[in-house]
Amino acid sequence: MSETATQPQPPLVVNIQYTKDLSFEVPNAPAIYTVLRTAPAVNINLDVQVRRVQEGQTVFEVTLTARAEATIPAADNGAAEKPMVVFIADLSYAGIFTLTGIPDDQQEPILLVECPRLLFPFARNILADITRDGGFPPVMLGPIDFVGLWQARRAQAANIASPAGHA
C-alpha cells in the first residue's frame, strides 16, 4: 500500500504575467524625425501597485508601471520656447502571484520587492522593443533597486501618517 505524499506548496508562485496596458506615441511626428540629431533625454518613472485579487485569499496582482518620456531641448528643435517631446511610452506589466504560508506581516516586501523583480526583465524588454519599433534607439532600463523603492515608499507613508512635529 503506497501513500501519496503531498508536495509542499512553494511560498511564491507566479500564476501568470501579462501586458496590462501599453501605449506608445510620437506626438510630433513626422517633424521630430527631421530635427532629431542626437539621442533624446529620456525621463523614466516607475511604480509598483499591488491589489488582492479576491478577499480572503493570498492571490495578488502586482503591476509594474513604467513611463518613458523622451525630449530634445528647445535649442535642438528650432523652437524657441520649450523642449519638444520625441516619444511617450507607457507600460503596465502585471503578474498574478500566490503566496503560501507567508505571514501577513512579511507579505509586503515580497509583493513590493520580489514580485516586481521577477516582472522587471519582461517589462524592460517590452519597453526596449516598443521604442526601437517606433524608430528610436531602444530604451534600456538599468537595474532597479526595488528594495530602495520599497523603503522610500514606507518612509513617505510614515511621514504622511505622522506630520513633522507630531509623534
- 36 in a structural domain: yes
Q: Which domain holds residue 76?
A: 18-137
Residue 111 lies in a domain: yes
pLDDT tens-digit map of 43-63? 999 999 999 998 888 999 999
Total of domains in the chain = 1
Is residue 85 within 8 Å of residue 67, measured between CB atoms?
A: no
User: What CATH number did the domain enclosing 63 receive?
Assistant: 3.10.420.10
Whole-model pTM: value is 0.85
> Using one digit for the tens of pLDDT, what is the confidence trace for 6-53?
777 789 999 999 999 999 999 999 999 998 888 899 999 999 999 999
Q: Is 67 within 8 Å of 89 (Cβ atoms)?
A: yes
CB crowding 81-96: b at 16 or more within 10 Å, else e: eebbbbbbbbbbbbbb
Assigned domain for 157 exists? no
Q: Does residue 42 lie in a domain region?
A: yes
For the segment 64-73, the average pLDDT, to the nearest whole number, is 95
Q: In this structure, is residue 155 part of a structural domain?
A: no
Give the tens place of pLDDT for each residue, 124-161. 999 999 999 999 999 999 999 999 989 988 888 888 87
Q: Is residue 133 part of a domain?
A: yes
3-state secondary structure of 31: helix
- Mean pLDDT for all residues in the chain: 89
Q: Is the pLDDT of residue 114 over 70?
A: yes
